[in-house]
Amino acid sequence: MIDRTHKALSVVQQCRLMKVNRSSLYYSSKAEQGENQDIIRRIDQQFLETPYYGSRQMTFALRREGFWVNRKRIRRLMKVMGLQGVFQAPRTSQRHKGHQVYPYLLRDRLIDRPNQVWCADITYIPVQRGFLYLVAVMDWYSRSVLSFRVSNTMDTSFCVEALEEALVKYGTPSIFNTDQGSQFTSLEFTGLLKNHGIQISMDGQGRWKDNVLIERFWRSLKYECVYLNPVDQGHELKALIQSWIDHYNRDRPHSALGGRTPFEVYASEPLDILPLCRVQAA
């Protein structure tokens, strides 16, 4: 989107034309070296278990496991990872003050059919020489993962690409739910939803439970795939995740779906599975 090597337009001019704040530009991640890689991986695992841990509690936890760390180091690494214990989820998506935020539409709503509600989220994925970002689009009713993209930057384009793929392959949902991150509130992302007549729903600020299904999916993906199969390159990670998602969608029984797989439920008749999914009020 932004061409840093453009001869005629500076980055400032391009940001002004695209109505993008310069502070929202993300640079390619730099690899952490040596022991920091082990610490980052352990922070990520611990945060899945205790998302309310800030840098102080995380420091205590890692020290009990034998890591020789201080709070300053943990605070810096958590900032690099996009984690903050004030909220009960990784803050991989940052809100953009100039973007419109939409209301949460799912409270007390009965979700009783595929393609009624889709959701999307971004998570942090550690690799051996740094970290990457993963976005996924999920059907809320069946828990099917409809598309995903891996990126080394937190821009909008990889989220839009994942959404476009899901729309081409699976049609359009009635409602699309995300958090309030700048990628999802961008004109490119919300405009694509509006062009397809899709209602836009967004979590309340700091309310990780509003999109809890995909948060649970991240936990399964990391513990069953990413942590067991460390990779070095982005293309290796993409192939690994694609293989595991295929297994998750088609072969892995889901307890919340009565032992059926997500794709079996996605392809079923609307009332062919009990219990139905109801989003509870806060």
pLDDT tens-place string over residues 237-248: 999 999 999 999
Burial of residue 117 (number of CB atoms within 10 Å: 0-12, 13-18, 19+): buried
| CATH T-level assignment (fold) for domain 110-278 | Nucleotidyltransferase; domain 5 (3.30.420)
For residue 266, give both structure tokens.
């996605």
**CA distances (Å), origin 242, targets 21, 141, 236:** 33, 21, 10
> Is the whole model's pTM more than 0.85, yes or no?
no
At 7-35, the pLDDT tens digits run: 667 776 767 666 555 555 544 445 555 67
Rounded CA-CA distance 87/11 in Å is: 33
Domain map (residue ranges) of the chain: 1-25, 31-86, 110-278
Burial category of 131 from C-beta neighbours within 10 Å (exposed 0-12, middle 13-18, buried 19 and up): buried
How far apart CA 107 and CA 259 sit, in angstroms, is 26
Name the more confident of 36 and 177: 177
CB atoms near residue 155 (< 10 Å): 20
Q: Is the pLDDT confidence value at 86 over 60? A: no
Across 51-62, average pLDDT? 85
37 pLDDT band, cuts 50/70/90, is confident
Determine contact, residues 156/1, Cβ cutoff 8 Å: yes
User: Which pair of structure tokens corresponds to residue 161?
Assistant: 């690409």
Mean pLDDT of the chain: 81
Q: How crowded is residue 9: how many other Cβ atoms within 10 Å of its Cβ?
A: 13
Q: Identify the residue with better confidence: 269 or 178.
A: 178
Asked whether the beta carbons of 22 and 15 are under 8 A apart, the reply is yes
Residue 139 sits at φ, ψ, to 5 deg, of -80, 120
